[in-house]
């Protein structure tokens, strides 16, 4: 069984952006569909690197999460440019 964890940073970003309902509505389908590649397309789950993925809550906003055995850890979210800056900082 897979569980979801939300980092403090992720919670703060979501709250400051006022996207709590949008993100909450996305987490359950991601949890149910993760690991089932046909569902990934419908959920807009995209692999970014070895354990790093993104999904979309809308056209312009992307939560980023790490997938490890049994847990999806959401740590960052933002628009396209913010995500690109986040990814550059991880390299």
Architecture per CATH, domain 3-90, reads as: 2-Layer Sandwich (3.30)
Alpha-carbon gap, residue 61 to 19, rounded angstroms: 9
Q: Indicate if the pLDDT at residue 43 is higher than 80.
A: no
Q: What is the pLDDT of residues 1-37, one digit of tens each?
A: 789 999 999 999 999 999 999 999 999 889 888 877 7
pLDDT higher for 42 or 62? 62
Q: Indicate if the pLDDT at residue 42 is higher than 90.
A: no
Torsions phi, psi for 41 (to 5 deg): -65, -45
Domain range list for the chain: 3-90
Nearby residues of 60 by Cβ (< 8 Å), 6 or more positions away: 79, 80
| pLDDT score for 60 | 86
Rounded to 5°, angle at Cα 73 from 77 and 58: 35
């Amino acid at each position: 069984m897979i569980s979801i964890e939300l980092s403090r940073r992720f919670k703060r970003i979501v709250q400051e952006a006022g996207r709590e309902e949008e993100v909450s509505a996305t987490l359950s389908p991601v949890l149910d569909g993760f690991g089932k590649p046909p569902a990934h397309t419908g959920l807009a789950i995209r692999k970014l690197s070895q354990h790093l993925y993104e999904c979309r809550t809308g056209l312009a906003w992307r939560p980023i999460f790490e997938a490890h055995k049994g847990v999806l850890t959401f740590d960052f979210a933002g628009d396209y440019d913010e995500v690109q800056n986040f990814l550059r900082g991880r390299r």
